Amino acid sequence: MRVFVKDTEIVMPGDKLATEEEFLPERGVFNENGYLFSLLVGDLFLGRGKIGVNPLLRDIRTFKAGDVVLCVITDLLPSIAFASISSIRIDSKDYISLKEGKIINPSEHNRYSDSKKLNFSDYNVGDVLLAKIKYNDEDSYMLDIASSPELGILFSICENCGAPMVYDAKLHMLACSKCKHVNNKDMSTAYGNIEEALKFIEKNL
């Protein structure tokens, strides 16, 4: 069994702990290039094929499949969007992202729900989203923004004048609060309400 430190030993962020073939990472541990490393300062624990770190200072965790995250679109292609995932603190636990997120256009792949008909041409770099992590790739989180009404655009600004976009109940779409430009983005039911968004995130971490 390949373990680089002793059980209950105090470890530091970045300390190499073991190989991924030997253990499944628990809290406080991340995987990189086949090795498991400590994410925080704490006591190492081993057991039943799992390895983790109990925090001495802060309880830091990484996002996993099924978690709902807050993210910002950083780049757009016809079939894929790239997003930066925001770290968040809930109940004295710090959740951090070690990699970027990717959103595959549901029209390109059938693995996502068709509950929303996304058109990436309606989206813009800088749009803030609520998304669910579908699965964890080696270099990114694959994100879903179509499988439930709470997911989708949370905040957006006008592509013409830069003013905030607001929901227009008559048009059932977003309209610019200044120049009245409209956009048919798929909104979260929590659009514009960060408190509701955080409640939904907390329920899904």
Q: Tell me the C-alpha to C-alpha distance, in Å, between residue 162 and each of 32, 60, 156, 165.
A: 39, 36, 9, 9
10-59 and 68-153+189-203 share one CATH topology? yes
CATH 2.40.50.100 fits 10-59, yes or no: yes
CATH of 68-153+189-203, one of 3.30.70.60, 2.40.50.140, 3.30.365.10, 1.10.600.10: 2.40.50.140
The DSSP call for residue 151 is: -
Q: Check residue 119 and give its pLDDT.
A: 64
Distance CA(41)–CA(186), nearest Å, equals 41
Query: Tens of pLDDT along the chain (205 residues)?
Result: 556 776 667 888 889 998 888 899 998 899 888 899 998 888 888 888 899 998 877 777 889 999 999 999 999 988 889 999 998 988 878 888 889 999 987 655 444 444 454 567 778 899 999 999 998 887 899 999 888 999 999 999 998 999 999 999 898 899 999 999 998 888 999 999 999 999 999 999 8
Q: Check residue 166 and give its pLDDT.
A: 93
The DSSP call for residue 159 is: T
Q: Check residue 163 and give its pLDDT.
A: 93
Give DSSP secondary structure letters for 67-101: -EEEEEEEEE-SSEEEEEEPPEEETTEEEE-SSEE
Alpha helix stretches (DSSP H) within 29-185: none
Pairing, β 24-25 against β 42-47:
unpaired
Residue-range domain boundaries for the chain: 10-59, 68-153+189-203
Half-sphere exposure of 74 (CA within 13 A, CB side): 9
